[in-house]
Amino acid sequence: MTWRTTLAARLPATRRARVLTAVAAVLLVLAAAVVARGSDGGAASPVRSSEQRIEVPEAPGSAARIALDTTVFWPQAGRPAPAVLLGHGFGGSKASVRSDAEELARRGYVVLTWSARGFGLSGGRIALDQPDYEVADARVLVDWLAARPEVRLDRPGDPRVGAAGVSYGGALALLLAAYDPRIDAVAPQWTWNDLAASLFPNASGGGPETGVFKKMWAGVFFSAGAGSIGGAPAPGVPEGGATASVCGRFTPEVCAIYDEVARTGRATLAAVDLMRRASPATVADRLKVPALMIQGKNDSLFPLGEADRTAQAVSRNGFPVEVAWTSGGHDGGRSQTDWVRERTAAWFDRWLMSDAGAQATEARRQGAAAGPVPAGPFLVTRFGGVDSGTRERVIRIADGPVYPGIDGTVRRELALEGGTQTVVNPPGGAPPSVSTLPGLGFLADLAELGDGLSAGALSVDMPGQSAFFTSQPLDKAVRITGGPTVRVRVSGADDMVLFAKLYDMGPSGSTVLPNRITAPVRVEGARDGREIEIRLPVIDREIDAGHRLRLVLTTTDLGFATPPAPSAFQVALASPVTLPSVPGVKLPPPSYPWWTWGLPAGAAVLAALLVATGRRKVKSRAPLAELRDVPLRIDGLTKRYKGGKLAVDDVSFQVDRGQVLGLLGPNGAGKTTTLRMLMGLIHPDEGVIRIFGHAVTPGAPVLSRLGSFVEGPGFLPHLSGRDNLDLYWQATGRPREDAHFEEALVIAGLGEALDRKVRTYSQGMRQRLAIAQAMLGLPDLLVLDEPTNGLDPPQIRAMRDVLIKYARDGRTVVVSSHLLAEVEQTCTHVVVMHRGGVVATGPVGDITGDGNTLAVGTPVPAKAVEVLEGRPGIASVVPEGEGVIVYLAGAEASEVVAELVGAGVPVDRVTAKRRLEDAFLTLIGEQS
């Protein structure tokens, strides 16, 4: 039942019509104003740009030159402006960042984009962001900007300039800031701190030389650079030859290192040295620049911990840093492009466009404000969703004043059960378990749930290779923000690799791997046993009450290289899992559209109308004292529609405390009409409905003890779920303390979804919000029409648990549903309606348990049919699975067994068989 139908239930028909007409008129006026307001504006203004070929040295100390292909975007301002260097991701070119560059130019910046060496139409070979190659190239670009009169200078040769980029370009921005003090602010996105540790991670604390090789991601990188990029031949790359065809546009050094690592699956000292030279971690003490660190939560290539290490370094150096964990990443997911653009521009506005910001940076560099500064603010994408109108991702960001790091500010221990388990590394590491599909994140996006959370449907843990450790159900919801840790005891092999994953396990057994990320760890010298600490993937996720956490340790993963030799070893937990959280990170209050500013006053008017109407005296039958403890009693209820058609015909039944009653019937049976009369929405022609002894009429005070929804949920889409509930309760005119918001929300299990705008909700989420609304005030009688519409099987199971618990606490639930199997599991009693009348009522067991059907298990069903068919007292015998179904017509079960055994037919089981569906079809069939 929607809040609108609840309001209508409180008003007599004539006044209800007038009020709803007035409300509709107001909404139409507002809607027209919104359309008119939305029609303002137009296409973005064009941006002037120019192409440039800027020459740089081909190699350190070389006289040979190569040309970088660049585009410069000019602002409209007539005076010198700050500049931004905008780098692209690996495999891209300057064209990849054109729209971002145009947006910054519109905001008043000179923006220089370029194709890095080896990419697009630029010359040279790819050296992976080496200081003597890509970083040196970017320094030449800064020199070029310093010579342009359109660019604002802080001093001769020193332009006011920031650097930004995604992934490959983001690391370059950080390295450029470390090697060139003229960079005044950086805003890298989805990038690395230590490239060696990223491609050879080792959670047990060893160096990258003993790490676990990310073979899939490395292969994706190498394939992207091996050959022509952007349709152009690689300038300077020799024609023909095996080496040229394999190495493509990579330098010989990079190609040789990859070739060796790919064959062995182990890092070499040369590989580690190469990647460390291209890592901000190596020059962390030089990162003296305000930094906006934006990292994607769906990123198995450069996880959230990479941004954490860079942020901590900038903070230690005494410079401002802001950290944002957003949706998306190298593993797919919808990125918050508009929000990232706005945040990046705001960051540059603060530190480049503002003289005060630039002066503060310079003062810190000169030592005037020495010492570390706290990192912050901290921003986290807590949920997204899809706008039902535009089909776009809706952004909701939680924030806190201080970035706490991946250890969080509060840590909680949670015990896991599982004992000691043996796992096997198969020969060659195949078939592997799967956490994600590196480089193919779009496939994982296809497995997303309607609420935008990754379903993790592509995660597979191979049996025999995996050990499972599971917690008890959580007594309350837990928000994990950071990297959980656990100590593990391993033994039985000298060289083993484990992949650790922490799943969110729902009450029905469904599992979700947050962000589809695993933590690899190589363990050496553990034949006689060794204890290690594993840091699990950094995540931000709320685990709902009733859910479990499951730690899985597996020996293989699709994305990584593992030891080729087969082995078996033992794993056991040596500690509880420690869960970090950050209570200080909160969701901001939802903002309201301009046209809702007058809504509180309108709500107050409507509430006043309700209160006034509630005081009107209505004709009603006197209360019956003997029914004061009976939640619902219906006697002789009849309703005729236009033309005299009977919709409800002399319906009578009673529902007692603690019962969950299922109201069943085919379409047109009269169920919904009965429920609408029960809620006072329409008048019966005959009969009476009593709630706790009081007759139901429109506006009757006893309706305050009833919570309900009929005809599906309906809410104001621009408001959050919480605000919809608040507005609904205000409209009832009842005191806020009577709402019992927290109790109702705990029972409904909505969690953080309450603070999202309803327009982002899936149908299942709207249903849960409607249940929460119906439960406000904890009504003694709850009436729900098709509450499981739009819910998937796990959500239906959760809904079942909610309703059973609600009744178990002494209240009463009436459910109208067409899902007979679910009614059978949820309801204690049923009322079956057909053609407007009641054809059966009573406990579910009485309806289904007539003993007229037997399921007999036997390995020779054909012989059983032959023996029983045509015997006295047996109506028919039908083969089904590994046995037969026997429909009785007077015979006893013992007689059936005796007949079979006497004829030499083995019987391994005999059970009564009659589902609610069978009983239902029989009942309405008899009436037909």
- Tell me: the pLDDT tens digits for 616-674? 333 345 678 788 889 999 999 999 887 777 889 999 999 999 999 988 888 888 888 89
Among 213, 203, 193, CA closest to 312: 193
More confident call, 645 vs 286:
286
pLDDT over 70 at 469, yes or no: yes
Mind listing the pLDDT tens digit for each residue in 529-540? 999 999 999 999
Mind listing the pLDDT tens digit for each residue in 417-447? 999 999 999 988 888 988 887 766 545 444 4
Percent of the chain with pLDDT over 70: 80
Mean pLDDT (the chain) is 81
What is the DSSP pairing of strand 660-664 with strand 519-524?
Answer: unpaired
Three-state DSSP class for residue 541: strand
pLDDT at 600: 41
d(CA 312, CA 308): 6
Domain presence at residue 223: yes
Same domain, 187 and 336: yes
Domain limit, last residue, from 539, 555, 581:
581
Domain presence at residue 210: yes
Domain at 74, CATH number: 3.40.50.1820
pLDDT over 70 at 352, yes or no: yes
Domain at 435, CATH number: 2.60.120.260
Residue type, 419: G
Q: How confident is the model at residue 383 (pLDDT cuts 50, 70, 90)?
A: low
Helix/strand/coil (H/E/C) assignment for every residue in 161-201: EEEEEECHHHHHHHHHHHHCCCEEEEEEECCCCCHHHHHCC
Same domain, 106 and 242: no
Mean pLDDT across 773-797: 82
Instruction: Scan for tokens 């002789």, then name that residue.
Output: 636
Strands (E), 591-645: 632-640
Token readout for 100 is 């971002």
Q: How confident is the model at residue 515 (pLDDT cuts 50, 70, 90)?
A: confident
CA 258, 260, 264, 269 torsion-angle sign? negative
Instruction: Scan for tokens 């069939």, then name that residue.
Output: 925
Residue 647: phi, psi to the nearest 5?
A: -90, -40
pLDDT over 80 at 602, yes or no: no
Mean pLDDT across 899-919: 78
Spatial strand order of the sheet with 183-189 comes to 48-57, 65-74, 110-114, 83-87, 161-166, 183-189, 291-296, 321-326, 378-383, 396-400
From residue 274, how far is each of 127, 254, 258 by CA, in Å?
9, 8, 11
What is the DSSP pairing of strand 161-166 with strand 83-87?
Answer: parallel
Mean pLDDT across 774-781: 87
Domain limit, last residue, from 242, 277, 312:
277
Domain presence at residue 568: yes
Domain at 786, CATH number: 3.40.50.300
Same domain, 313 and 385: yes
Give the alpha-carbon dihedral of 914, 915, 918, 924, to 10 degrees. 120
Min mean pLDDT across 660-674, 740-754, 865-879, 893-907 is at: 740-754
pLDDT at 548: 95
Name the strand (E) or helix (H) holding 578. Answer: strand 577-581
Same domain, 206 and 188: no
Same domain, 285 and 268: no
Q: What residues form DSSP beta bridges with 887?
A: 853, 876
Three-state DSSP class for residue 469: strand
Same domain, 253 and 290: no
pLDDT over 70 at 598, yes or no: no
pLDDT over 90 at 398, yes or no: no
Mind listing the pLDDT tens digit for each residue in 542-552? 998 999 999 99
Spatial strand order of the sheet with 812-816 comes to 706-709, 781-785, 812-816, 660-664, 829-834, 837-843
Peptide bond into 377 cis (omega under 30): yes
More confident call, 622 vs 361:
361
Peptide bond into 156 cis (omega under 30): no
User: Which residues are CB-contacts of 640 (< 8 A; sequence separation ≥ 6)?
Assistant: 646, 647, 685
Token readout for 72 is 């410069």
- In order, the DSSP letters of 377-390 are -EEEEEE--B-TTT
Mean pLDDT across 116-141: 96
Three-state DSSP class for residue 844: helix
Name the strand (E) or helix (H) holding 686. Answer: strand 686-691
Whole-angstrom Cα Rg for the chain: 34
Same domain, 734 and 674: yes
Q: How confident is the model at residue 146 (pLDDT cuts 50, 70, 90)?
A: very high
Same domain, 331 and 388: yes
pLDDT over 60 at 6, yes or no: no
From residue 477, how far is each of 542, 545, 829 by CA, in Å?
7, 4, 32
Domain limit, last residue, from 359, 374, 400:
400
d(CA 869, CA 886): 9
pLDDT at 225: 65
More confident call, 642 vs 458:
642
d(CA 484, CA 573): 14
Q: How confident is the model at residue 455 (pLDDT cuts 50, 70, 90)?
A: very low
Number of compact structural domains in the chain: 5
Domain presence at residue 15: no
Domain presence at residue 37: no
Domain presence at residue 331: yes
pLDDT at 369: 53
pLDDT at 206: 60
Min mean pLDDT across 171-180, 237-246, 369-378 is at: 237-246
- In order, the DSSP letters of 124-145 are S-B-SS-IIIIIHHHHHHHHHH
From residue 505, how far is each of 381, 469, 622, 763 by CA, in Å?
22, 12, 52, 22
d(CA 510, CA 792): 11
Same domain, 270 and 283: no
Name the strand (E) or helix (H) holding 579. Answer: strand 577-581
Among 12, 121, 26, 203, CA closest to 603: 26
pLDDT over 50 at 878, yes or no: yes
| Structural contact between residues 880 and 857, judged by C-beta atoms closer than 8 angstroms | no
- In order, the DSSP letters of 470-522 are EPPPPSS-EEEEE--EEEEEEES-SEEEEEEEEEEE-TTS-EE-GGG--EEEE
Mean pLDDT across 106-114: 95
pLDDT at 361: 87
pLDDT over 50 at 40, yes or no: no
Residue 676 has a CB neighbour count (10 Å cut-off) of: 23
Query: What's the whole-model pTM score?
Result: 0.62
Half-sphere exposure of 585 (CA within 13 A, CB side): 32
d(CA 301, CA 190): 9
Phi-psi region of 298 (alpha: psi -120 to 50; beta: other; left: phi over 0): beta
Domain presence at residue 39: no
Among 129, 124, 84, 134, CA closest to 106: 84
pLDDT at 332: 76
Same domain, 211 and 332: no
Q: How confident is the model at residue 893 (pLDDT cuts 50, 70, 90)?
A: confident
First-last CA distance in the chain: 32
Q: Which domain holds residue 372?
A: 48-196+278-400
State how far Cα 54 lies from the chain centre: 45
Domain at 857, CATH number: 3.30.70
More confident call, 861 vs 613:
861
Domain presence at residue 688: yes
Strands (E), 737-828: 781-785, 812-816
Same domain, 757 and 871: no
d(CA 485, CA 561): 23
Same domain, 230 and 155: no
